[in-house]
Amino acid sequence: MAKVITQLTFDDIVKENMQEFDMSVEDAVQDAVQQFESQGVNLSNIIQDVSIYSGDGAVDTVHPVVEAIQRLSLLASNDSSNAAAALPDLDVVRDECNIDLSHRCLAGNNQAYPTLIKLLKKFSGDAPVMKSLLQSLCALINGQPDLLDEEGSALLVQLLSDFKDNVELLVLVVRLIRLFCVKHEGNRQNFVGKDLIKLLAGLLQSQQTNAELVREVCFALRVLTFDDDIRVPFGKAHEHAKMIVTEGDALKAILKICEVYADNVSVLGELFLTLGSLVVRNEFCEEVLHLGGVQFVLQAFEKNIPDKTIVRQALVTLRALAGSDKVKVAVMKQRGIELAVAAIVKHDSISAIAEGACATLAALTLRNPAHCNKVIECRGHEAVVQAMKIHPKNASVQKQACMILRNLVARTREHGPAILELGAEPLLNQAAANHKECGDEAKAALRDLGCAVHLKELWTGQKGSIQY
């Protein structure tokens, strides 16, 4: 993990460069950057603006975001303060934090979070100020979820109930909760422990006609199923997905809302992605099938196939649903294989669609010879090989393509010659050579195609025995 330093440490080195080595401001900052980067320090949290330094290297002025926070802190402590007086400084905090992570870190290190939380509690009845406060917090927290404390989490959950009649503020509260949960397993579990899932599921059902809120709630539910915090060896992504389905009855609610937004691909895409993140068990996939969800996804897929965004999102959902054998059969019967092949051909230059389509086809053909025959009949093998040629540097495309080619011949060896005629063998060897993560899949495909494969013997049992 890369090392980090504080803004003060960086400023001290700039000052030293200017005073001890008589450097200009520009050279002093550049040299400081080079010094720290050569030591493996991550400077993404450091402001490197030469305008903040004076001629002797000292920080010339207080940074605008720090000044704004200082004024807001006084406002929060003043019992007779006017809520509207906070708006100009809240604008400064929001705009500065939106610049980049370094500005957000500077604000966070200067007590921006506790100050804004105090103001949230103080001016909870003033809608315009609350809107500005929530926007500023969203800007501050983006990439800094560690700032959350117990007081803040309890307050945000309470605001979901307090603002039930103000959709604009509800959207911001849900967005803020979602930002706190990204890459932070502790915060996710904290919010789930406060019945966040039931609250969000309730909003999804009661506010289904508000497109912006539906999108935010779907995104927040999806984030609860993430496993993206590298500091935690074992998260609760699967448990959260199960709770969302069983306690929030989310599958039925999402599919019902899909019908409301059948012609709105922006909202439909969020619904599809959320649906795909929740079907973590075989019975969940079959429930979606029973409720007509598979048919709906395929119809939306076919209707909007020129739209690259909804096509990618539909493919992600279909891949997840194909974890069930019953769903695989239903997808095949409803022309899902033809649509996946058509997506690769239609959007051949878009790697995300090539990856999604290959992954979907790989899931549909796993241990299913009849589906393999259908892919060959639709000339899907040609589309997959072509995708490997178009996206040679994309490891994800190469890996998924290797998997589908292997599935096509694992139980139906007669398809091998047709695939090899397209030049698959050198492409598979190239994928294994260029992308370490593709090695096993490429070698498995080569083996089942009857090609020569070099296998490395990792352990021969020599040079000692196992110690107990």
Q: Write the DSSP string, 316-384.
A: HHHHHHTTSHHHHHHHHHTTHHHHHHHHHHHTTT-HHHHHHHHHHHHHHHTT-HHHHHHHHHTTHHHHH
**CA separation (Å) from 13 to 32, 261, 465?**
6, 56, 54
Mean pLDDT for 410-434 is 95
> Does residue 66 lie within any of the structural domains?
no
Q: Render pLDDT for 195-236 as a digit per residue (tens, 0 to 9).
A: 999 999 999 989 999 999 999 999 999 999 999 999 998 999
Residue where the block lists tokens 């979907």: 360
Residue 455: exposure state from Cβ atoms within 10 A (0-12, 13-18, ≥19): exposed
Q: Give the contacts of 194 (CB within 8 A, at least 6 positions apart).
A: 153, 154, 157
Q: Render pLDDT for 100-138 as a digit per residue (tens, 0 to 9).
A: 999 999 999 899 999 999 999 999 889 999 999 999 999
CA 293 – CA 300 distance, rounded (Å): 11
> Does residue 44 lie within any of the structural domains?
yes
Is 230 strand, coil or helix? coil
Residues 336/298, Cβ–Cβ less than 8 Å? yes
> Does residue 280 lie within any of the structural domains?
no
Give the per-residue pLDDT at 47. Answer: 85
Band the pLDDT of 28: cuts 50, 70, 90.
Answer: confident
Band the pLDDT of 79: cuts 50, 70, 90.
Answer: confident
Give the per-residue pLDDT at 422. Answer: 96
Residues 10/46, Cβ–Cβ less than 8 Å? yes
> Does residue 389 lie within any of the structural domains?
no
Mean pLDDT for 464-468 is 58
Q: Give the contacts of 64 (CB within 8 A, at least 6 positions apart).
A: 92, 96
Q: Render pLDDT for 301-326 as a digit per residue (tens, 0 to 9).
A: 999 999 999 999 999 999 999 999 99
pLDDT of residue 60 exceeding 60, the answer is no
Q: Render pLDDT for 369-385 as a digit per residue (tens, 0 to 9).
A: 999 999 999 999 999 99
> Does residue 15 lie within any of the structural domains?
yes
Q: Which domain holds residue 27?
A: 7-52
Is 3 strand, coil or helix? strand
**CA separation (Å) from 323 to 206, 280, 283, 367?**
31, 8, 10, 12
Give the per-residue pLDDT at 75. Answer: 92
CA 31 – CA 194 distance, rounded (Å): 49
Instruction: Report pTM.
Output: 0.88
pLDDT of residue 461 exceeding 70, the answer is no
Give the per-residue pLDDT at 4. Answer: 83
The total domain count for the chain is: 1
Mean pLDDT for 383-396 is 97
> Does residue 462 lie within any of the structural domains?
no
Which stretch of 3-17, 58-72, 151-165, 418-432 has the lowest confidence by average pLDDT? 58-72
Give the per-residue pLDDT at 51. Answer: 73
CA 83 – CA 94 distance, rounded (Å): 17
pLDDT above 90 covers what percent of the chain? Answer: 77
> Does residue 12 lie within any of the structural domains?
yes
Band the pLDDT of 55: cuts 50, 70, 90.
Answer: low
Burial 97-122 (b: 16+ CB within 10 A, else e): beeebbbbbbbbebebbebbbbbbeb
> Does residue 246 lie within any of the structural domains?
no
Residue-averaged pLDDT of the chain: 92
